[in-house]
């Protein structure tokens, strides 16, 4: 019974993420202005979240409007900011509740300081959770440059505690002159321990998503 209640709680948390409020953990992320930490794409871009990501293996599962309040709250960090959001589930899932949920939340525009904007962005996402009542970074943050990419992502695993119990989840984020973006993934925390989660693999997924959501600026 307790596990059933916990499952309901996790589903509620995922629903919050699907409403454009995703993000997890605390703001204790490393600065991104050191060697190998700043994402520096060759050209300015906008975010355009496609109907499928990860080479078509995940398809859109939620069509909520992006929360433009996030962009408004970042107006001091991002000029002409526009919020973007999408959630995805495995294309071959057997039901609406099977398989992990990937949530992509971001703001694009002219980012004045990627370091500061990213930190503020994650703080905003954290504050928008109704729960957990306690959130602790238990692994990371780690700056990872995935194989085949020259740009880093910052990844961590966050433990979340509320009235129903304790769960955990990963997130990876990036920031540059065009956008700040956070990617989260739901996990079956009853079958896997945080130390067993492959952050390197999730960073590689995030890098692929980063390439898939970048679109040229309108002329």
What is the structure's pLDDT at 31? 38
pLDDT exceeds 70 at position 34: no
Tens of pLDDT, residues 168-192? 999 999 999 999 999 999 999 888 9
**Separation between Cα atoms, residue 11 and residue 8, nearest integer Å:** 5
Tens of pLDDT, residues 42-69? 689 999 999 999 999 999 987 688 999 9
pLDDT exceeds 70 at position 2: no
What is the structure's pLDDT at 219? 64
Tens of pLDDT, residues 118-129? 999 988 887 766
Tens of pLDDT, residues 87-125? 999 999 887 777 899 999 999 999 999 999 999 998 888
Angle at 28 between CA 161 and CA 150, to 5 degrees: 120
Beta-carbon contacts of 68 under 8 Å, excluding residues fewer than 6 positions away, are 82, 83
pLDDT exceeds 90 at position 162: no
What is the structure's pLDDT at 84? 97
pLDDT exceeds 50 at position 10: no
Q: Which of 28-32, 36-40, 155-159, 211-215 has the lowest average pLDDT? A: 28-32
What is the structure's pLDDT at 71? 97
Question: Domain coordinates of the chain in residue numbers?
Answer: 2-216
What is the structure's pLDDT at 134? 77
Tens of pLDDT, residues 190-200? 889 999 999 99
- By percentage, how much of the chain surpasses pLDDT 90? 58
């Amino acid at each position: 019974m307790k596990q059933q209640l916990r499952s309901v709680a996790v589903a509620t948390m995922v629903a919050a993420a699907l409403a454009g409020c995703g993000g997890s953990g605390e703001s204790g992320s490393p600065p991104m202005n050191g060697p190998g930490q700043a994402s520096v794409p060759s050209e300015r871009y906008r975010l355009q979240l496609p109907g499928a990501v990860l080479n078509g293996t995940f398809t859109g599962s939620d069509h909520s409007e992006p929360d433009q309040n996030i962009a408004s709250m970042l107006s001091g960090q991002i000029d002409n900011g526009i919020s973007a959001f999408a959630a995805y589930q495995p294309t071959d899932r057997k039901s609406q509740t099977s398989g992990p949920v990937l949530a992509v939340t971001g703001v694009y525009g002219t980012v004045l300081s990627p370091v500061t904007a990213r930190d503020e962005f994650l703080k905003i996402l954290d504050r928008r959770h109704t729960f957990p009542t306690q959130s602790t970074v238990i692994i990371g943050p780690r700056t990872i440059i995935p194989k085949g990419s020259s740009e880093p992502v910052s990844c961590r695993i966050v433990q979340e505690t509320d009235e129903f119990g304790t769960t955990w989840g990963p997130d990876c984020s990036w920031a540059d002159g065009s956008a700040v973006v956070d990617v989260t993934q739901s996990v079956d925390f009853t079958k896997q321990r945080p130390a067993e989660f492959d952050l390197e693999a999730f960073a590689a997924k995030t890098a692929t998503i980063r390439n898939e959501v970048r679109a040229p600026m309108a002329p």
